[in-house]
Structure 1
């Protein structure tokens, strides 16, 4: 059964090349989406951490001059 299939593949390599290129396109697009999702999650986490931070005490100029 495999010998007629191999004979067909040897005669016409274009279907195999088409499938390989489609596989490559899908792999690259999935890697790109994964990278974009990772960057998005890290930016949202960073913004969330900045928003939750307690504001520090604000000192006026007179208090800073006395300490110096």
Structure 2
């Protein structure tokens, strides 16, 4: 049985999460395209291999740290 998680492609604008009973729900958008993209990639990687999940997590971490650094320099 294919789920919406499996059919989503990395880089899609909306990220999917699951609520307590496993029903997919869309995460709210941040308004920052780069952050929304890496969070969508992270969500869609949850059904992927461990290496792909780690890679998506590292990309999200880098993007989030970059945005925080931007705020610190403002």
TM-score (norm 2): 0.35
Could you say which structure has the higher helix fraction?
Answer: 1
Choose between structure 1 and 2 for higher RCO, CA contacts under 8 A separated by at least 6 residues: 2
TM-score (norm 1): 0.38
Structure with bigger gyration radius: 1
